[in-house]
């Protein structure tokens, strides 16, 4: 029976060589993990194992209550960090399949790329960055989550993709290059949709030349960006967009920063969020002063705060800095007494 189960993994590995592009990252060629493993059921490839490790992690589950753009959204249809992650994964898999690259590696990187994001999205990240001696970057924290805090023992290729998903880094695999584009394509498009729903912008506000190039229709615009990457990368060792496509993507992203990401309406609550993060950081830093060295404390506090969801950070702030009211039983007790007196 063990031989039969093990052959499943072997067949999957052989199938990669038969079906995938010569440029694809094959599981059997992986540079491996820090620690060897001994698992009884060999029915998954190494990148499939990475995907499942991330999917079942606590840090992944917490993404459902972390901000994407809008803080503590009142509308259930707004994206959270979790739904953003799932959209990145689906866009990445679509491109990987068309290019015959390794879908499992793309999915693992996509699901893990934002595990280190703070509460309150980029607002929280910027606040921590300003407080820490060496700054804060969510991609570096995501690597710390999978390597240290949850010790997932992932393949080197998956860790590299998580590290380099942020623009400006140079990925070592074409699958990680896909995630760089998938992340950007996902957030530009879904942030436009959420901003329209919030009434901050309308489709008519978008730059006319970008609309002419991509379309004002959400699905069409998304499809054209994905198709551009596929057409420009097919049977090539590097994943990239066309020069024209990249120009309009960049212009649309810049417009979103000017009109949404940095807009006072969209960011009206950010001052409060920044104060929460700053207050928590200062409180925990002082609290740990008697227990750890000054060199150790910033990282310990960062690990704790960056793992918080929006609501948990708010609860901790309320517990620590807002006086708790006495239990108000008086009115209820009087009502009960009056009711009993009429029996």
Domain spans in the chain, listed from the N-terminal domain onward: 51-270
202, 208, 214, 218: CA torsion to nearest 10: 10
Instruction: Report the pLDDT value the prediction gives residue 153, as an integer from 0 to 100.
Output: 97
Q: DSSP state, 67? A: B
Q: How far apart are CA 92 and CA 207, in angstroms?
A: 26
Q: How many residues does the chain have?
A: 343
Q: How far apart are CA 21 and CA 100, in angstroms?
A: 5
The stretches in the chain having pLDDT less than 70 are: 1-6, 38-40, 72-74, 263-267, 326-343
Phi, psi (degrees; rounded to nearest 5) at 167:
-65, 140
> Smallest Cα–Cα separation from 267: which of 195, 186, 193?
195
Domain 51-270 has CATH 3.40.605.10: no
Q: How far apart are CA 40 and CA 58, in angstroms?
A: 24
Burial (CB count within 10 angstroms: exposed 0-12, middle 13-18, buried 19+), residue 233 = buried
Instruction: Report the pLDDT value the prediction gives residue 333, as an integer from 0 to 100.
Output: 57
Instruction: Report the pLDDT value the prediction gives residue 69, as an integer from 0 to 100.
Output: 85
């Amino acid at each position: 029976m063990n031989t039969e189960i093990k052959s499943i993994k072997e067949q999957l590995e052989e199938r990669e060589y038969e079906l995938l592009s010569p440029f694809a990252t094959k599981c059997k060629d992986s540079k491996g993990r820090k620690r060897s493993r001994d698992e009884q059921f060999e029915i998954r490839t190494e990148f499939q194992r990475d995907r499942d490790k991330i999917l079942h992690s606590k840090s992944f589950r917490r993404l459902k209550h972390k901000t994407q753009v809008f803080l503590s959204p009142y509308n259930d249809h707004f994206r959270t960090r979790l739904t953003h992650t799932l959209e990145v994964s689906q866009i990445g898999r679509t491109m990987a399949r068309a290019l015959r690259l390794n879908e499992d590696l793309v999915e693992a990187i996509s699901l893990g790329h934002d595990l280190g994001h703070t509460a309150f999205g980029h607002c929280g990240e910027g606040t921590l960055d300003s407080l820490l001696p060496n700054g804060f970057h969510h991609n570096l924290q995501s690597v710390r989550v999978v390597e240290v805090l949850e010790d997932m023992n992932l393949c080197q290729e998956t860790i590299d993709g998580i590290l380099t998903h942020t623009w400006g880094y140079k990925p070592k695999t074409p699958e990680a290059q896909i995630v760089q584009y998938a992340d950007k394509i996902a957030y530009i498009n879904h942030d436009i949709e959420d901003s329209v729903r919030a009434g901050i912008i309308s489709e008519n506000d978008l730059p006319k030349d970008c609309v002419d190039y991509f379309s004002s229709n959400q699905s069409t615009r998304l499809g054209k960006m994905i198709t551009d990457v596929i057409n420009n990368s097919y049977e090539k060792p590097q994943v990239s967009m066309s020069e024209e496509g990249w120009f309009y993507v960049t212009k649309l992203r810049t417009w979103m920063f000017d009109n949404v990401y940095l807009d006072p309406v969209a960011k009206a609550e950010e001052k409060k969020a920044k104060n929460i993060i700053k207050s928590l950081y200062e409180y925990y830093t002082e609290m740990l002063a008697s227990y750890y060295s000054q060199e150790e404390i910033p990282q310990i506090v960062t690990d704790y705060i960056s793992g918080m969801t929006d609501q948990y950070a708010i609860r901790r702030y309320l517990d620590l800095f807002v006086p708790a009211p006495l239990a108000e039983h008086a009115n209820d007790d009087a009502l009960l007494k009056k009711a009993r007196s009429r029996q």
